[in-house]
Amino acid sequence: MRARFIMRGGARWSIGSGATIPILNEPWLPNGEFIGSDIPGAHFVHNFTVNNLMNLYDKSWNEQVVRQVFSDDIANKILHTPLISQVDEDRIIWKAERHGRYSVRSAYMLCVSELIDSSYNWRPGYWVGIWNLKVPPNVKNLIWRMCRGCLPTRVRLLDKGVTCPTNCASNHEDLMHVFFACPFAIQVWKRTCLWGSVQHALSTTASATEAIFYLLESLSVDLTQRLSSVLWSIWKHRNLRVWDDEIETSATVVDGVINMVADWLLANALDVLASRSNHQPTTASTSQQHRITWQPPVAGRYKCNMDAAFSSHGNRTGIGICVRDAEGTFVLTKTVTYPCTVSMDVG
């Protein structure tokens, strides 16, 4: 029996008794999924409700019945659907808000994130490597635009109907040519001792973008810092040549790379020193205070701390609860486990 799951917007059932929730065509499975009435064998559960899949003596799934009626993929979905004993009645909740109530704002966000197909905006790649670079933000932005394919090279401009002058030997000025194939760019890479790594990346990958991702993931922090600064400086040199007819030597470009890295490191070091100077010296007493992770409630009141742990392998959620008074004395403790896994917020 082949499973077919369908999403129905942001509404889903919170299962209480299960007596009012039809098994078919209602979003009671995780994430608002429901079992369609067109699956093989659907007639066996037509007009039955969710409570018919539960044990009578406690609020848990009757695994024997579930696996007997449904295929493995549907049965596993059902058995991983949370049944919380404290939930008494069946009701529809809005999954896009923590409190379960509908709001226009959350509906809009849901449409943007789930219902509108935005897959065309997603591109594979080591994007986190760009944002983790230890370089100025404008350098990160440049590399992001390179990898997104929106850098205005000559090829890109001509595709958009924009004509521009060029002093480069090649009219086919794409990403690969500007940064890796142009003789001037190669001179710069050699002067910065990165040409060997760049050549290896180009021979291992199929495009300039893939080569950049490869280098960001394989080089050390210092070398990725130098790499990104070289990319920035090559692009700056290209713009000066094309638009202002200014010519720089490869040595000048490399000097710019060195100065950019040095200036950025110095600026960040000064920020750290300024931040430290604005704080009071740490004494033994203040250090001890900072190590305290629990603060008692005011006199006459109690404080309840709790935490949740999850086991996807065992399909269980564990809850730990501890109540202490104003003196820090334990009053009550309790642990509870549930035969399901839930989100962190629900836990």
Domain assignment present for residue 88? The answer is: yes
CA angle in degrees (0–180, nearest 5) for 199-201-206? 110
Domain identity same for 147 and 174: yes
Count of CB atoms within 10 A of residue 170's CB? 13
Task: Provide φ and ψ at 18, rounded to 5°.
Answer: 80, 0
d(CA 120, CA 139): 25
Question: What is the pLDDT at residue 84?
Answer: 84
Domain identity same for 93 and 39: yes
Domain identity same for 106 and 239: no
CB 88 within 8 A of CB 63: no
d(CA 347, CA 338): 10
Domain assignment present for residue 283? The answer is: no
CB 16 within 8 A of CB 25: no
d(CA 252, CA 259): 11
Domain assignment present for residue 305? The answer is: yes
Domain assignment present for residue 290? The answer is: no
d(CA 31, CA 114): 11
Domain assignment present for residue 120? The answer is: no
Per DSSP, the residues of 320-344 read: EEEEE-TT--EEEEEEEEESS---T
Question: What is the pLDDT at residue 2?
Answer: 38
Please, which residues bridge with residue 24 across strands? Answer: 35
Pairing mode, if any, of strands 33-35 and 5-7? antiparallel
Domain identity same for 212 and 257: yes
* Final residue before a domain boundary, out of 115, 140, 170: 115
Question: What is the pLDDT at residue 171?
Answer: 61
CB 179 within 8 A of CB 199: no
d(CA 215, CA 194): 10
Domain identity same for 151 and 199: yes
Question: What is the pLDDT at residue 43?
Answer: 84
d(CA 76, CA 33): 13
Question: What is the pLDDT at residue 40?
Answer: 78
Helix (H) or strand (E) holding 303: strand 303-311
pTM of the model: 0.50
Task: Provide φ and ψ at 77, rounded to 5°.
Answer: -60, -45
Per DSSP, the residues of 165-184 read: ---SS-S---HHIIIIISHH
Question: What is the pLDDT at residue 201?
Answer: 95
Question: Which of 118, 146, 149, 119 shows the shortest CA–CA distance to 130?
Answer: 146
CB 39 within 8 A of CB 74: yes
Domain assignment present for residue 10? The answer is: yes
Domain assignment present for residue 122? The answer is: no
Domain identity same for 135 and 180: yes
Mean pLDDT, the chain, whole residue set: 82
d(CA 147, CA 209): 5
Considering its fold, how many domains does the chain have in total? 3
pLDDT per residue, tens digit, the chain (347 aa), is 334 444 455 778 889 999 999 999 999 998 778 898 888 778 888 889 999 999 978 888 999 999 998 988 899 889 888 888 888 899 888 766 666 777 777 677 767 666 566 655 667 889 999 999 999 999 999 999 999 988 988 888 877 877 765 555 456 789 999 999 999 999 999 999 999 999 999 999 999 999 999 999 999 999 999 999 999 999 999 989 888 888 889 999 999 898 888 888 887 776 666 666 555 554 444 444 445 578 888 889 999 998 888 877 777 888 889 999 998 888 998 888 877 777 776 76
Look up tokens 């291992």; give the residue: 204
d(CA 172, CA 157): 11
* Final residue before a domain boundary, out of 115, 145, 167: 115
Question: What is the pLDDT at residue 105?
Answer: 76
Question: What is the pLDDT at residue 242?
Answer: 81
Question: What is the pLDDT at residue 175?
Answer: 92
Question: Which of 235, 233, 237 shows the shortest CA–CA distance to 259?
Answer: 233
Per-residue pLDDT tens for 25-61? Answer: 999 998 778 898 888 778 888 889 999 999 978 888 9
Range of the domain at 300: 295-347
